[in-house]
Structure 1
Amino acid sequence: MGDVAMTVPVLLAVLKRYPDIRITVLTKAFMAPIFSGLPRTQVVVAQVKDKHKGVAGLYRLFKELQRAKINAVADLHNVLRSNILIRFFKFSGVRVRQIDKGRVAKKALTRAKSKIFSPLKTTHERYADVFAQLGYPVQLSKADVLTKSDLNAQLAQRIGNAPKKWVGVAPFAAFSGKMYPLALMKEIVSDLTQYKGYKVMLFGGGKSEVAQLTKMAKVHEDCICMAGQLDFASELDLISNLDLMLAMDSGNAHLAALYGVPTLTLWGVTHPYAGFAPFGQPADNCITADREQYPLIPTSVYGNKFPEGYESVMETISPKRVVDRIQELLG
């Protein structure tokens, strides 16, 4: 989800710079609401588990995409399916360019021996490079964000109209190496709810996460579990109205950044140097684990690999440090 969300600021920059072009986004059905705020953009759903499965299905998808009269293809994914699909476009004479994921540089950043610890090109910049190669160069700006949405009456009523700062908290991540210990996150939520000016909203997905967040919300006043309560489009509407989002190196951080929401991220065995920091956020909003104590960080790009003894790197980030930064950002 994070990779998909990170395309939006780049697409918005392209659409602003080139008012005569239209964009067709190919993605999965669940991701479609992410692009709803973009002008001159249509979404085509890839049904890779049935209708568009296999080489024959991808050729069927190619024929469907031809109806959109596509003049150029920007492959921002560069995986097996997209590699097959762009071959069909190439053979039909359509210009195609692919993302350079920088795998060699990322390997040098994450390896244990002879590590090269220096910031790499951001994913947003890599996406922009693809459009530049197609003849649509852009300069990315912090202004390339979506406008916040209006909340429906039912959701607004549920949250309440008290004049409080809305703080989103998304404590989970795909891999344990990127997740802040839940016990410490509970301390953060407890501290935040002590300030009567904050309304804390918990985000997550999946039965286990929903159960844990529901239990956490019941303990504190001014804390609401939003996990499992909204469809994805409504969740995006709510996120766009937050005053701040606290998240891991994960999809929720990128979703909040799409709307220019101040986004505070916590980093374990991954690191912003790999290029996955949320769009438009200052470096101080990325709170990283202690590299003096754990010098092999980052141990992987996605947080799925780390050596023995690195299971507790997140514990070097104190709850107080996080709460203090939130208070600085909210005033």
Structure 2
Amino acid sequence: MKRIIVTRFSAMGDVAMVASVLKEFVVQQKDVEIIFVSRVQFAPFFVDIPRVRFHVMDPKIKHKGIIGLIRLFRELKKYKPTEIADLHNNLRSLFLVFLFKASNYQVSILDKRRKQKKLLTRRENKILRPLDPVTECYGEVFRKLGYNFTLSHQLNKVDRKIPRNLIHIFNSNDKKIGIAPFAKHKYKVFPIIKMEETIRDLCEKNYHIFLFGGSEEEKSICEKWAKQYPKTTNTIGKHFLSEELDIIANLDVMISMDSSGMHMASLVGTRCLSIWGATHPYAGFLGYGQSMDDCIQVEHPARPSSIYGNKPCLCDGVEAIELVTVEMVTKKIEEVLG
């Protein structure tokens, strides 16, 4: 049995994409075991993938700094790996790669396509053409190690149990929509006022809404909406990540920003309508198996300005995400759900 150490420490959406890739990899490579190294909160993404063992990387205490990374290296060596696949290519992962290389291990490192990304996001003479999906870039890392590996780029519906306290809702005939209204960077977030209007319109059409997020501020906003609008359920602070995946797997459709909500939907095979502003699906971060036809965006020569959404994208003086209307979102939902 071959054994590959695979590293991807963050962010949540990227780690979820790795999980989608590994699900297909282990099916095609029956003689390979994966030791996946990441932060403990992402472990639920990998629980049901055969021959994948999760090794916790603790960057704040146990594996902090150079001494901590050397400790992590020693922990990982005990697995007696045959190869190392670095799917992160950041300072921490590259230091680990250096240690493994110095010990004569075969390694392969993610190519982040930085040059192509600059051409896509530069202000002048922008080259607007699709880059390789990030999932294909992950796949390439394994191919460089000598594995024959082909990604299907298909959504595969996963059968997961509905949390007990929500069974009564899923037993109703209402269509179930998940909404992840937030993102790490503000230039990727559909304006809150517009999102509230969207939720109100959907409630009036008798859809049941499930709201997803993470921070206390996001929880406060979603609790307010859940109290104000019927058939709206806030999941923030009430369910573990694994239970959120259970809920998303049983939805009729998901609505998300260019964020982890989209990638979680892909992981459990749920169709996702995604809203884009400063970023663009051409950068390669469209959810695995999701369709370009389900991207809600307004094309403009200034887009995209950013790969990650941390830079503004002014389109004729208006932020790109502001160009998306409530009507565009609700119309697309009605097209999909009827």
Q: TM-score interval w.r.t. the shorter chain? A: over 0.9
Cα deviations by residue, 1:255-300 (Å, 9 ceiling, x for unpaired): 0111110100000011001100011111111111341xxx211001
2:303 to 297, 300, 306: 297
Partner Cα distance (1:171, 1:223) in 2: 13
Whether 2:281 is the aligned partner of 1:272: answer: yes
Residue identity matched to 1:305: K
1:185 to 178, 190, 195: 195
1:30 to 41, 49, 60: 41
- How many residues are aligned here? 326
User: Do the aligned residues in 2 keep the contact of 1:25 with 1:41 (CA within 8 Å)?
Assistant: yes
User: Do the aligned residues in 2 keep the contact of 1:169 with 1:203 (CA within 8 Å)?
Assistant: yes
User: Do the aligned residues in 2 keep the contact of 1:12 with 1:144 (CA within 8 Å)?
Assistant: no
User: Do the aligned residues in 1 keep the contact of 2:154 with 2:288 (CA within 8 Å)?
Assistant: no
SS of equivalent to 1:65: helix
- Corresponding residue number in structure 1 for 2:245: 236
Cα deviations by residue, 1:72-101 (Å, 9 ceiling, x for unpaired): 111000000001111111122211000000
Pair 144,328 (structure 1): closer, same or farther in 2 beyond 3 Å: closer
Pair 174,311 (structure 1): closer, same or farther in 2 beyond 3 Å: farther
- Return the offset for 1:310: 5.4
2:178 to 168, 173, 192: 168
- Corresponding residue number in structure 2 for 1:220: 229
User: Do the aligned residues in 2 keep the contact of 1:262 with 1:329 (CA within 8 Å)?
Assistant: no
Unaligned runs of 5+ in 2: 1-11
Residue identity matched to 2:138: Y
Partner Cα distance (2:255, 2:163) in 1: 24
SS of equivalent to 1:239: helix
- Corresponding residue number in structure 1 for 2:7: none
- Corresponding residue number in structure 2 for 1:11: 22
Partner Cα distance (1:232, 1:306) in 2: 30
User: Do the aligned residues in 2 keep the contact of 1:246 with 1:265 (CA within 8 Å)?
Assistant: yes
Question: Structure 2 length as normaliser, TM-score?
Answer: 0.92
- Corresponding residue number in structure 2 for 1:51: 62
Q: How does 1:149-168 map to 2 (within 5 A)?
A: 149-157=160-168, 159=169, 161-168=171-178
SS of equivalent to 1:242: coil
Partner Cα distance (1:154, 1:218) in 2: 18
- Corresponding residue number in structure 2 for 1:325: 332
- Return the offset for 1:137: 2.8
SS of equivalent to 1:81: helix
Q: How does 1:128-143 map to 2 (within 5 A)?
A: 128-143=139-154
Unaligned runs of 5+ in 1: none
Residue identity matched to 1:64: E
Partner Cα distance (1:146, 1:100) in 2: 30
User: Do the aligned residues in 2 keep the contact of 1:270 with 1:300 (CA within 8 Å)?
Assistant: yes
- Corresponding residue number in structure 2 for 1:120: 131
Pair 24,90 (structure 1): closer, same or farther in 2 beyond 3 Å: same
Q: How does 1:299-318 map to 2 (within 5 A)?
A: 299-306=305-312, 312-318=319-325
User: Do the aligned residues in 1 keep the contact of 2:278 with 2:313 (CA within 8 Å)?
Assistant: no
- Corresponding residue number in structure 1 for 2:3: none
Cα root mean square deviation, aligned: 1.6
Pair 145,307 (structure 1): closer, same or farther in 2 beyond 3 Å: closer
Question: Structure 1 length as normaliser, TM-score?
Answer: 0.94
Partner Cα distance (1:115, 1:28) in 2: 36
- Return the offset for 1:60: 1.2
- Return the offset for 1:143: 4.3
Q: Percent identity?
A: 40
- Corresponding residue number in structure 2 for 1:263: 272
Partner Cα distance (1:2, 1:75) in 2: 17
Point out the more displaced range, 35-44 or 231-240: 231-240
Partner Cα distance (1:154, 1:209) in 2: 22
Pair 204,60 (structure 1): closer, same or farther in 2 beyond 3 Å: same
- Return the offset for 1:163: 2.1
Cα deviations by residue, 1:218-275 (Å, 9 ceiling, x for unpaired): 1211111112211222112211221111010001111011111010000001100110
